[in-house]
Amino acid sequence: MQHIFSTDLTSGLYTDMYQLSMAHSHFNYNRHNEQVVFDYFFRKQPFNGGFTIFSGLGELLGLLQEFKFSDRDIDWLHKYGFNDSYLEYLRDFRFKGNLFSMREGEVVFPQEPLIRVEGNIVEAQLAETVLLNYLNFQSLVATKAARIKLVARGAALSEFGLRRAQGLGGLFASRAALTGGFTSTSNVLAASIYNVPAVGTMAHAYIQSYSDELTAFRDFANINPEGCVLLVDTFDTLKIGLPNAITVAKEMEAKGHKLMGIRLDSGDLAYLSKQSRQMLDDAGLNYVKIVVSNQLDEHIIKSLFEQGAPIDVFGVGTNLATGKPDAALDGVYKLSLANNEPSLKLSENIKKTTLPGRKQVYRFTDDAGNFVADAIALEDDPTPEDIYHPYEPDKHRSLNGIKAEALLQPVMKNGELLHTPTPVLDVAAYATERLSKLTEEYKRFENPHVYKVGVSKALLDLRNTLRSKYKKDSL
């Protein structure tokens, strides 16, 4: 029986069935070489926040280079009624399109295209599902990680989410957490793949398997003297766990080693961390770090520091790796140009009417380098000097004289990468740098200021012209 571990995840089957059905129709009506442009964007900031961190590009580019249908894939598709000529076309399929993208780690905002895909209609549509699968989830988790880092006050952050993650999504969760600013993971496979530190302490079960906690601590420290962290809350944190950890720390000192830390995984973390710090310092163990875990998120960590908790390391699992409470970024992939003609999707809700044409996104910055506003414009038009609210065109702003940079840059041409994907820690450094240019009112958790993203007058006019035309044609 075939199972996931015998499946090549670069398989063309890593898609939704309707993509294959639409491609079947395009092929049989000889439309498969028609050229199109699709945009990837999202409509709403996650976590009621003021920003999103763009993540997942490196993994996506690697997949698209290898995306193909094996003989086994083709054999399996026969039972769905696809004709032989189409299946032979799929057998030779390779993604040969062009991609323009914002840099991975960029700070991004609703409505603006983060990626533009150009190619024939079949390859552009077959790329949709995996693109959304990779980018929506990783951008969600990277944003959660960045929010945690904002309130962590320089404390070390380690991702502990594999056991609660959605299956193999745990690997991508680890990568995205690193993009957002975490520096290590408990996920050993992810640490190996992404070349970051793997970290871990011990479980309550380890201690429970002994007849007494002190012996458990001694054995663990003896065999793991480097980076040793003892879990102190199995029985009674302050009366049993901490005294035993202090005893073992002193024994380690006598052998030329140092206990790295103690971990708190339950109870009142603010109170227990303060008491633990006092007891450790009184014992001359001011170098021993305090590590905490247990259902942490940005709000709890912020509260802990506001209470004066002396915590050095946070291990964040479930809420980070699952993107709780949002669970998904609402990224979408929409056709904007077909056979050189601009196209849009109409909706009774103007906010869901898409922006037509091949576009560029410009970021405007002030003299200090801080972000001021973004503009979405038609690619061939000059950098706009004014931007208009996409849904309330009477609202507009002049950007004349303000420095701008184009954010969408070519990353793939004719299916070939134009540069080597950036290592994840370099992506993280870029994300940190860019987030520092977003002023504080956009980063607060309660009622963050809404960053201005506008459209150029030419793009607004094109959308309105097409909208009027389609509405007239439908009468």
pLDDT reported for residue 473: 63
**Per-residue confidence band for 470, with pLDDT thresholds at 50, 70 and 90:** confident
- What are the tens digits of pLDDT across the range 138-167? 999 999 999 999 999 999 999 999 999 999
Please determine, for residue 135, whether its predicted confidence score (pLDDT) is greater than 90. yes
Residue 121 amino acid letter: I
Nearest Cα to 404, choosing from 433, 381, 379, 372? 372
**Overall average pLDDT of the 35-52 stretch:** 98
The percentage of the chain sitting over the pLDDT mark of 90, rounded to a whole number, equals 92
pLDDT reported for residue 1: 46
Please determine, for residue 472, whether its predicted confidence score (pLDDT) is greater than 80. no
**Mean pLDDT score of the chain:** 95
**Overall average pLDDT of the 98-120 stretch:** 98
Q: Following DSSP, what letter does each residue of 419-471 receive, concatenated? A: SPPPPHHHHHHHHHHHHTTS-GGGT-SSSPPPPPEEE-HHHHHHHHHHHHHHH
pTM of model > 0.75: yes
- What are the tens digits of pLDDT across the range 318-376? 999 999 999 999 999 999 999 999 999 987 777 788 999 999 999 999 999 999 999 99
**Per-residue confidence band for 168, with pLDDT thresholds at 50, 70 and 90:** confident
**Overall average pLDDT of the 98-124 stretch:** 98
- What are the tens digits of pLDDT across the range 271-319? 999 999 999 999 999 999 999 999 999 999 999 999 999 999 999 999 9
pLDDT reported for residue 394: 87
pLDDT reported for residue 351: 78
- What are the tens digits of pLDDT across the range 72-92? 999 999 999 999 999 999 999
Please determine, for residue 408, whether its predicted confidence score (pLDDT) is greater than 50. yes
**Per-residue confidence band for 474, with pLDDT thresholds at 50, 70 and 90:** low
Please determine, for residue 475, whether its predicted confidence score (pLDDT) is greater than 60. no
Please determine, for residue 401, whether its predicted confidence score (pLDDT) is greater than 80. yes
* Structure letter (DSSP) for residue 244: H
Count CB atoms within 10 A of the CB of residue 257: 16
Q: Following DSSP, what letter does each residue of 190-219 receive, concatenated? A: HHHHHT--B-----HHHHHTSSSHHHHHHH
Q: Is 277 helix (H, G, I), strand (E, B) or coil?
A: helix
pLDDT reported for residue 346: 86
Q: CA 117 to CA 38: how far, in whole Å?
A: 5
